[in-house]
Amino acid sequence: MSGELIRIWPETWSEIWTKFQRTSFAPDDLYIELLRQVIPAPLAPTPPPIPPAEAFNEAGELIDVEALQARDTFELERKEFDEIRQARENAISGQDTREYFREALAAIATEADAVRCIERAYDALGTFDEAEKLKIKYRELVVEFLERYNVRYQVRGACSLHPTVPGLFATMLSEVRRVSNGDDHITELLSEFEDAFADLKIDRTATRLKTCLQKQYNLLEALGAACPGVDADTLGAMCDQIDWPHATIKEVGKKLYGFGSNYPGLRHGGKKKSQLRALTMRDFVSISLMLTAFTPYVASELEADRCYTC
């Protein structure tokens, strides 16, 4: 699952907007109306505060350096705003509308803005005569796009994008990459875990399964060691220093650590008699997901809200 919509946002131009505009019943002013209702109008710059009296000389001329810089900056911003506003007005009047709309879409840079754009476009179609036909076709294109690129959303209701459970995990792992950026040690361990995970395609032997889990344990311990107030070296000991909502959840974390330490050949040699049977892919999927589910507790800088919301 690719996770964020913004990562493949450029593909929406050919897969959604162009296909939609080529629909036989699409109105000639489609892009004009979408531009008017979907793309926010530029905001005028805020004038600087009125300079104090001492910023002027006896002749009433502004002489304060900071005030002069603020005035010049505002004048430049206002000039740019006027140009942008005029270009938008020209596009709404029918001049190079398609190209302006495409550039406006390309300028969208955040996940939240991309989602809002998709949803607002659906609502904007209600102004046309064949609104229902247009809405049905548009929704179909959006659904096809999300499924084709395996994005984290599903379309519910009229045209509302909602994160999926797989998307939650995908975005959480993206968050791990984000918070580990700049930490060479965590970045290296994350890369080792991903390499071990990729190697399972070659052969899913018990040895490879244990290696992959071992790399995941190492990653969690490195993340936990970076948490404020944590000075323990092992995941089990860290569980006594991490903030938990309930003692039972803490015990689950300790049990997971205990499994990793006690199962022979996983993290330590161990004793053969502690093994009930060899690990299978079913065990790996279950245990790996359980360890992944504990990641938000050990990654203190991870913004959990971003895993679900835009």
Residues 152 and 207 in one domain: no
Q: Is residue 68 part of a domain?
A: yes
Instruction: Please tell me whether residues 144 and 262 are part of one structural domain.
Output: no
| 134 lies in the same domain as 152 | yes
> What Cα–Cα distance (Å) separates residue 175 from each residue in 163, 168, 180, 264, 272?
15, 10, 8, 32, 38
Q: Which residues share a beta bridge with 162?
A: 154
Q: How confident is the model at residue 272 (pLDDT cuts 50, 70, 90)?
A: confident
Shared domain for 133 and 181, answered yes or no, is no
Which helix (H) or strand (E) is 77 found in, with range? Answer: helix 65-92
Do the domain assignments include residue 40?
Answer: yes
Q: Where does a domain end: 145, 162, 179?
A: 162
Q: What's the structural domain count of the chain?
A: 2
At 225-240, the pLDDT tens digits run 988 889 998 889 999 9
211-233 mean pLDDT = 92
> Please, what is the Cα angle at 45 between 39 and 50, to 5 degrees?
160
**Same domain, yes or no, for 55 and 172?**
no
117 in the same domain as 57: yes
Confidence check: pLDDT of 16 > 50: yes
Residue 160: DSSP 8-state:
E
- Least confident piece of the model among 22-36, 165-179, 212-226: 165-179
- For 126, the domain range is 6-162
End residue of a domain, out of 162, 192, 210:
162
In this prediction the pTM is 0.72
| Co-location of 21 and 100 in the same domain | yes
In this model, does residue 138 exceed pLDDT 50? yes
Same structural domain, 246 and 173: yes
Please indicate, yes or no, if residue 15 is contained in any of the structural domains.
yes
Is residue 175 very low, low, confident or very high in pLDDT (cuts 50, 70, 90)?
A: confident
Asked if residue 116 has pLDDT above 90, the reply is yes
What mean pLDDT comes out for the span 70-76? Answer: 93
Q: Residue 58: is it exposed, middle or buried by C-beta count within 10 angstroms (0-12/13-18/19+)? A: exposed
Is 1 within the bounds of a domain?
no
Whether pLDDT at 1 is above 70: no
User: Are 141 and 252 within one domain?
Assistant: no
Instruction: Round to whole Å and give the CA distance between 130 and 147.
Output: 26
Of the candidates 298, 52, 6, 292, the residue with the CA atom closest to the CA atom of residue 149:
6
Q: Do both 190 and 266 map to the same domain? A: yes
Q: Are residues 144 and 15 in the same domain?
A: yes
Residue range 40-48: average pLDDT? 92
Question: Average pLDDT over the chain, rounded to whole?
Answer: 90
3-state secondary structure of 122: helix
Provide the pLDDT for residue 282.
94
**Domain final residue pick, 128, 162, 196:** 162
